Structure 1
Amino acid sequence: MLTGKHIALYVSGGIAAYKAATLVREFIRQKAQVRVVETAGAQAFVTPLTFQVLSKHEVYTDRFAQLAPDQVAHIELADWTDVAVVAPATADLMAKLATGIADDFASTALLATTAPKFIAPAMNVHMWENPATQRNLAVLKQDGMRIIDPDTGFLAEGYQGKGRFPAPVKIVAEVEADLIAADTTLPLHGQQVLVTAGGTRERLDPVRYLTNDSSGKMGYALALAARNLGAQVTLISTVSQLPVPAGITVIHVDSAAAMRNALLKRFATAAMVIMAAAVADFRPAAPATNKIKKTATTYTLELTKNPDILAELGQRKQHQFLIGFAAETQHLLAYAQRKLAQKQVDMIVANDVSSPHAGFNRDTNEVTVLQPNQAPQPLKVAHKTKIAQQILQLAIAAQTD
């Protein structure tokens, strides 16, 4: 999404200015073209030569300096810009942007820029929380600028607080996600997509539970693939250790019952539902309220069936395209074909989890996609991100046939 994009990076005067050098590299790594503007304050921390070497372009510093005699520099930059990123944004520059002050190159060029603008504030926590800063922030949002919230952590002043410059990779991810969401040419643009991920946890007592080996990686890969195709993705996940891609809403659940409730609340407005989670078939019939003590040499556990979420969604679906998963260790296609018919779904992804290249806790997968009245379509071993892309492509094709 950032390939070939013209990104104007505005660096203002705070200690975090040195991190903007890494941000230039991250944008270039995504094959974007970058030009840098430095305020006078920023130059006190990082010399223009640093950004010139990294960006391979002259750095804009002086409102009255013209790099080409036939161009007005700040207007030329504004017209060149596909995306403007202010990072770090000081309270001072934010105040200028909120009030329309144009007294240096950065504020003047930004005032002339019609392209999307992203603001990544970085400052002391007390400056960040000051009512004046928050008023300016509200104005910037109202004016359509995208705010990338600062992180909370150890500040330059030696104490904890909100105001840390976000990690450059986070800024790049936020920019990319926003551009994807705005791209009306993408096949899933604006569509609500629900994705489930991970293995459910069924409580035995306050310290123990029944679960399975699902890592959630396939579900997260599918959520990312759907986002990259323009969808508004809600990820209903039982795992918390995986990073959530920018632009995706995550809802953390634990049990099959909690996952069912989260799905049913959102099912009516969904265009596509991808049930990649490994939902437990059974749960303890009577979970203990206290830790079960080791008082006998044997222990009998009574289980009761969990609701069949996929089958319930299959009965409820109207306009939704419903995708289920079949994780098996034997008779893969036979079991998956039966599931396709019984659950009334539009697609089943059959997954032999006993394979050394596929299944739980692996970065790669190998699946077979089944659809009604079609021959099974195998997807060869590949990283789960690629498998996810292929599954979504097949789903989109099925809806357009």
Structure 2
Amino acid sequence: MANITLFSQIISKLDRTKFNKLVKDKQTDKHCKGYNSWTHLVSMLFCQFAKSQSVRDISNGLRSATGNLNHLGISSAPSKSTISYQNKNRTHELFKAYYFHLFESLGQHPKFKQVKFRIKTKIFLLDSTTISLCLSIFDWAKYKTAKGAVKMHTLLDFDGNLPAYVNITDGKTADNKGAYDIPLLKGSVVVADRFYNDFQLLNVWDSKGVFFVIRHKENLQYVSLKENELPENYNQHILKDEIIELKSDVSKNKYPKKLRRVSVWNEEKNQVIELITNQFNWSPNTISELYKSRWQVEIFFRDIKQILHIKSFIGTSENAVMTQIWTALITILILKALKAQSIFEWHLSNLVAFIRLNLFVKIDLQKWLNKPFEEHIDPPPISIQGVLF
């Protein structure tokens, strides 16, 4: 049996040296009395793992683990008023910066490397999700007349299905407008739905050497320049592969170059999916499969909303909401890293549920991850007492 709890072993996997450097750079512990940034991080991770519904649940939950808090790197359980105050006042930029640091380490496990596509370029999936809020309580989250919301514009790395970039805006920001600030790698490919069919945005991506696969709108006006022959062994769901240019003067001024248009039959939804791309060398089937992989970003949004604490919030200020969202992203990064390190084939929902049930159980984390349904009992010590007679 391990001498420290499961939660303590999970926390020990975090790079505290880098965290302390970020704290120093952002001066988040300036004038701090007791409840430092590390204690704040641990408290919010406990909120996510335990799915605490209030600051009282966080405070009482950590207080119930008296004797084990030193292993978490904190001296005592914080009070609910302290948690509430720091959620409002300690900048969420600290946790945002720490997420991207962890992404560069925990998020690069060899198991995360995609093997589905033969193309060597980096694949990113772009989409957004809306998190509804009550406007009368979260009055800063403008969305509709009687409804508040924030929107997460997420660039998901296909390797590991983890966010490589997140832009959180108010609910009124359109999907394409929230994508302008997203940094992209030259030579990478971005896959997105029709809400990102913004030719000015696509022209910016193209000028940076970024490929895109976008579902175009039904009212797209274009001129067909050439229809590519489909290979003899082509998949029957590929209906057309052609080279086009935009017809409308307004659209053509925004994107003057040629585009490739691929029409695909979707058997499940019984409809035609029409895609545009600036990649002219890949097979039409590769273009089709790339767009099909976009569903992974929907699965990611489902996971963070269902298995983590992100649909309701323990604070009402903008900073408190942002803090909870970024610590939720840190939590799912940790969960996926644990899943990748285990031999047992975990489903993410089962993993977080089992951790939640065993949060303060003293058991070896790696052994438990590999064989969760086996009883882990250390052998009794070997007696060294001599023979009396």
TM-score, normalising length: structure 1 = 0.30
TM-score if structure 2 supplies the norm length? Answer: 0.30
In proportion to residue count, which structure has more strand? 1
Q: Which has the higher contact order (CA 8 A, sep 6+)?
A: 2
